[in-house]
Structure 1
């Protein structure tokens, strides 16, 4: 299917995200914040398609296996996904 306004993300040879230029994780977060009146957003991401979400979120965390660009954009780098980095972070941060 072809349409105008195509955007793509990713610099890895094995993966390419193709989507409408108005569609992004950041746009979805912005919309949900507006619709739900959410004041703070904490997000997790590991790949280039998460950059727009990191720009909108108040805090953004990347597992240690994330791309270098994502780790550089993150508030902090947490544990590897194989070691349940997100779950461990949530348990420690929010005393779950």
Structure 2
């Protein structure tokens, strides 16, 4: 995976109020495949992993909203930065 922009990493850290390393984000992002965004179960798992990494609880309702937004967006599954920005809006 290419280097995560400082803007995206800063946004993650600001939103969570915690320091999350670039390495942690890269490791998680490296496990994501294009099919992850096509499968609701896999997407749900990814959201929970991000939540655990950031130590920020995410309600089932919010998870459902994120899944709906990802599906509606037609987002390129290879663009993890766009996915992170979408999740930060929730």
TM-score range, shorter chain: under 0.3
Structure with more strand by fraction? 1
Q: Which has the higher contact order (CA 8 A, sep 6+)?
A: 2
Max Rg structure: 1
Higher helix proportion:
2
TM-score (norm 1): 0.26
